[in-house]
Amino acid sequence: MDELDKRVGLFHAELRELKQKVKELLEENKRLSIENHQLRQVFKRETSSEREAVLATQAGAGTKETKPDLVREESFEEAIVAVGEGHDNLTRLYHEGFHICNVYYGHLRTEGDCLFCLSFLNK
């Protein structure tokens, strides 16, 4: 009976440590998510200011941009953001331990890194 009490005590201590580790990881995840959001906003601001500078230079050189070009430019910018978010989501899934390759998509990675997934991420 004493041995059983010792084991229960050890399991309890191990569970407490695991809960603490999960709490720390959740806090770090939240902090990194906020930082990522802020960096995306900065990136969006920087790219829009650069785009405005290019447009101003073109306008100063006598090049006029038509309305369809502006529509295409906006849709292109939205597509870049959408691709970036999709890639970030796949990267997050991979780092959470799931396959993102077409061979084992969605399965839990149990044997370390997957070369198919890594090649996909590097494209």
Of 98, 96, 92, 100, which Cα lies nearest the Cα of 119? 100
Q: What is the pLDDT of residues 47-105, one digit of tens each?
A: 887 788 777 777 776 544 445 555 555 555 555 555 577 888 888 888 888 899 988 88
pLDDT at 119 over 70: yes
**How far, in whole angstroms, is CA 65 from its chain's centroid?**
34
Q: Is residue 22 scored above 80 in pLDDT?
A: yes
Torsion of CA 102, 106, 112, 118, to 10 degrees: 40
Question: pLDDT band at 43, cuts 50/70/90?
Answer: confident
The letter for the amino acid at 46 is: E
Q: Determine the pLDDT at residue 76.
A: 52
pLDDT digits over 29-40, tens only? Answer: 888 887 887 878
pLDDT band per the 50, 70, 90 thresholds, residue 14: very high
Angle, vertex CA 78, rays to CA 118 and CA 55, nearest 5: 120
- Classify 112 as helix, strand or coil: coil
Q: How far is CA 95 from the centre of its chain?
A: 10
